[in-house]
Structure 1
Amino acid sequence: MRRSGCSVRSKGYALAWLLAWSVLPAWAAPRFAEVKAAWRPSAVLLLDRHGAPLQQLRVDKRALRLDWVRLEDTSPALRYALLLSEDRRFYEHSGVDWSGVAAAAWGNLWHSRTRGASTLTMQLAGLLDQDLRASASGRSLWQKLGQGWSARALEQEWRKDEILEAYLNLVSFRGEQVGLAAVSQSLFGKLPAGLNRVESAIIVALLRGPNASAERVAARACGILQTMDSEAARKHLPRSSEAERQRQCARAAILTQQALHARAPASLWQWQLAPHFGYKLQQQLHLPAGIRIATTLDAGLQRYAAAVLQRHLRALAQRNVQDGAVVVLDNVSGDILAWVGSSGGLSAAANVDGVTALRQAGSTLKPFLYQLALERRYLTAASLLDDSPLDLQTAAGLYAPRNYARDFKGPVSVRTALASSLNVPAVRTITMVGPDALRDRLFALGLRSLVNDGDYYGYSLALGAADIRLIDLANAYRTLARGGMFSPPRWTLTAAKPTGRQLLAADSSFIIADILSDRTARARTFGLESVLSTRYWSAVKTGTSKDMRDNWTVGFSRQYTVAVWVGNANGEPMWDVSGMHGAAPVWQSVLDYLQRGQPSRPPLAPAGVRRQLVRYQGDIEATRQEYFLAGTERALIMPQLPGGQETPGIVSPLTGSIYAVDPDIPPANQRLLLRARGVSGAQWWLDGRRIARGNSAPWFPWPGRHQLELRDGGGKLVERVSFEVRGAVAKPGSPRPASPR
Structure 2
Amino acid sequence: MPSRLARHLLVAFALLGLGGLAWLWIATRPPAVPGFAAARAAWRPSEAWLYDRDGRLLDSERVDFSVRRLGWTPLAATAPTLRKAVVLAEDHRFYAHDGVDWLATASALRTRVAGGRSRGASTITMQLAGFLGGDLARPGARGWRDKLRQMRAAWAIEAGWTKPQILEAYLNLAGFRGEAQGVAAAAQTAFAKPPAALSRNEALLLVALLPDPRADAATVARRACRLRGAGACDDLVAGAEGMLASGRRLALDPGLASHLAGRLLRRPGMRVRTMIDRTVQQAATTALRRQLLGLGATRARDGAVVVVENATGAVLAYVGGVGGAATAAAVDGANAYRQAGSTLKPFLYGLAMEHGWLPPASILDDAPVQLDTASGLYVPQNYDRTFRGAVSARSALAGSLNVPAVRTLILTGVEPFRDRLWDAGYRGLTEDGAYYGFSLALGSAEVTLLEQANAYRTLANGGRFTPLRLTAGAPVQPARPVFTPQAAWLAADMMADPGARAATFGLESALRLPFWAAVKTGTSKAMRDNWCIGFTDRFTVAVWVGNLEGDSMRAVSGTSGAAPVWREVMLALHRHRPGLPPPRPPGIEARRVAFAGEIEPTRREWFLAGTGQAALAAAPPGARRPRITAPVSGSVYALDPDIPLPRQRLRIAVAGGAAGHRLLLDGRDLGAASASPLILAGPGPHWLVLTDTGGRAVDRVLFTMR
TM-score class, shorter: 0.7 to 0.9
Q: Which residue does 2:604 correspond to in 1?
A: 625
Please state if 1:279 is matched with 2:262: yes
Residue in structure 2 matched with residue 165 of structure 1 by the alignment? 168
Quick check: 1:592 aligned with 2:575?
A: no
Runs (5+) with no aligned partner, structure 1: 1-15, 233-238, 660-665, 676-694, 702-722, 727-741
Q: Which of the residues 640, 651, 671 maps onto 2:626?
A: 651
Once the two structures are superposed, what CA deviation does each residue of 1:696-715 show, in whole Å capped at 9, x if it has no partner?
A: 544479xxxxxxxxxxxxxx
Query: In structure 1, which of residues 349, 363, 366 is the aligned counterpart of residue 342 of structure 2?
Result: 363
Report the AA paired with residue 105 of structure 1: L
Query: AA paired with 2:226?
Result: T
Q: Residues 724 and 648 of structure 1: is their aligned pair in 2 closer, same or farther, counting only changes over 3 Å?
A: closer
Aligned match of 1:53: 57
Q: Does 1:512 align with 2:491?
A: yes
Shift of 1:355: 0.3
In the TM superposition, 1:58-207 aligns within 5 A as 58-75=62-79, 78-109=82-113, 112-130=116-134, 133-138=136-141, 141-195=144-198, 200=203, 203-207=206-210
- Distance apart, 1:382 and its partner CA: 1.4
Residues 237-278 of structure 1: CA distance to partner in whole angstroms, max 9, x if unpaired?
A: xx22xxx44x467547744652xx53633x1x2242211112
Q: Distance in 2 between matches of 1:574 and 1:461?
A: 22
| Greater mean deviation of Cα atoms: 467-476 or 526-535 | 526-535
Task: Tell me if structure 2 keeps the 8 A contact 1:202–1:217.
Answer: no
- Cα distance, 1:389–1:537 mapped onto 2, change above 3 Å: same
**SS of residue in 2 equivalent to 1:113:** coil
Query: Partner residue of 1:454?
Result: 433
Superposition deviation, residue 327 in structure 1: 0.2
**Count of residues in Structure 1 that have an aligned counterpart in Structure 2:** 638
Which residue in 1 is equivalent to 2:283? 304
Residue type of the alignment partner of 2:286 = A
CA displacement at 1:543 relative to structure 2? 1.0
Once the two structures are superposed, what CA deviation does each residue of 1:379-415 show, in whole Å capped at 9, x if it has no partner? 2211111112333343444433222233221100101
CA distance in 2: counterparts of 1:146 and 1:581, whole angstroms: 72
Report the Cα offset of residue 371 of structure 1: 1.5
Question: What secondary structure, in the 3-state scheme, does the structure 2 residue paired with 1:207 have?
Answer: coil
Partner of 1:173, secondary structure, is coil
Q: Return the alpha-carbon distance in structure 1 between the equivalents of residues 97 and 26 of structure 2.
A: 17
Structure 2 letter corresponding to 1:190? K
TM-score (norm 2): 0.81
Distance 2:51 2:243 in 1: 35
Distance 1:281-1:249 versus aligned 2 partners, 3 A rule: closer
1:89 to 1:19, Cα distance in 2 relative to 1, 3 A: farther
Separation (CA, whole Å) in 1 of partners of 2:456 and 2:700:
31
CA deviation after TM superposition for structure 1 residue 472, in Å: 0.8
Q: Matches of 1:509 and 1:249 in 2, distance apart? A: 69
- The 1:537/1:250 distance shift into structure 2, 3 A limit, reads closer
CA distance in 1, matches of 2:21, 2:165: 28
Decide which of 401, 412, 436 is 1:422's aligned counterpart.
401
Q: Which range moves more in the overlay, 543-552 or 429-438?
A: 429-438
For 2:362, the equivalent position in structure 1 comes to 383
1:79–1:604 distance in 2 versus 1, CA, 3 Å? closer
SS of corresponding position for 2:304: strand
Q: 2:638 aligns to what? A: none
Give the Cα–Cα distance (whole angstroms) in 1 for the partners of residues 572 and 450 of structure 2. Answer: 20
Q: Is the CA contact (8 Å cut-off) linking 2:517 and 2:535 kept in structure 1?
A: yes
**Aligned-partner residue type, residue 408 of structure 2:** T
Aligned-pair CA distance for 1:502: 0.9
The 1-side partners of 2:309 and 2:24 are apart by 69
Give, as a single letter, the amino acid of the residue that structure 2 aligns with 1:651. P
Q: Does the aligned pair in 2 maintain the 1:305–1:326 contact within 8 Å?
A: yes
Do the aligned partners of 2:31 and 2:133 also contact (CA within 8 Å) in 1? Answer: no
Conservation of the 8 A alpha-carbon contact between 2:218 and 2:237? no
Matched-pair contact (CA < 8 Å) for 2:346–2:397: yes
Whole-Å separation in 2 of the counterparts to 1:554 and 1:670: 54
Hey, what's the Cα distance between the residues in 1 that align with 2:566 and 2:506? 18
**Deviation of 1:180 (Å):** 1.0
Paired position in structure 1 for 2:351: 372
Letter in 2 for 1:225: A
**Map of 1:332 onto structure 2:** 311
The 5-angstrom pairing of residues 418-497 of structure 1 reads 418-497=397-476
Map of 1:532 onto structure 2: 511
Deviations 1:122-181 (A, max 9, x none): 212333344x63223216645533432343344455443332222111122345322011
* Distance change (3 Å), C-alpha of 1:140 and 1:549: same
CA distance in structure 2 between the partners assigned to 1:670 and 1:176 by the alignment: 86
**How far apart are the structure 2 equivalents of 1:182 and 1:480?**
48
1:46-72 deviation per Cα after TM superposition (whole angstroms, max 9, x unaligned) = 221122222222333333211233445
CA contact (8 A) 2:136 2:150 kept: no
Distance 1:18 1:113 in 2: 33
Question: CA 1:339 to 1:199, structure 2 compared with 1: closer, same or farther past 3 Å?
Answer: same
- Structure 1 vs Structure 2: percent identity of aligned residues? 45
SS of alignment partner, residue 290 of structure 2? helix
The answer to whether the 8 A contact 1:198-1:251 is kept is no
Change (3 A) 1:249 1:621: closer
1:581 matched residue in structure 2: 560
Q: Is the 8 A contact 2:449 2:544 kept in 1?
A: yes
Deviation string 1:452-490 (CA, Å, 9 cap, x unpaired) is: 333333322222223221111111111111121112211
Q: Does residue 261 of structure 2 align to residue 262 of structure 1?
A: no
Query: One-letter code of the match for 2:626?
Result: V
In structure 2, the residue matched to 1:712 is none
Deviates more, 1:607-616 or 1:477-486: 607-616
User: Per the alignment, do residues 138 and 602 of structure 1 end up closer, same or farther by CA in structure 2, a change over 3 Å counting?
Assistant: same
**CA–CA distance in structure 2, aligned partners of residues 19 and 89 of structure 1:** 32
Q: Is the 8 A contact 1:21 1:149 kept in 2?
A: no
Contact 1:517 1:537 in 2 (8 A): yes
- The answer to whether the 8 Å contact 1:206/1:217 transfers is no
1:569-605 Cα shifts (integer Å, max 9, x gaps): 2233333221211111211221222223335332233
For 1:629 and 1:647, locate their aligned partners in 2 and report how far apart those are by CA, in whole Å. Answer: 29
1:227 partner letter: R
Which residue in the other structure is 1:736 paired with? none
Q: How does 1:3-42 map to 2 (within 5 A)?
A: 32=36, 35-36=39-40, 38-42=42-46
Give SS of 1:598's match: coil
Code of the residue aligned with 1:183 in structure 2: it is A
User: What is the distance in 1 between the residues matched to 2:209 and 2:473?
Assistant: 42
SS at match of 1:172: coil
The letter of the residue matching 1:392 is: L
Task: Give the partner amino acid of 2:97.
Answer: H
**DSSP-derived class of the 1:276 partner:** helix
Asked if structure 2 preserves the Cα contact closer than 8 Å seen for 1:319 and 1:576, the reply is no
* Segment drifting more, 466-475 vs 53-62: 53-62
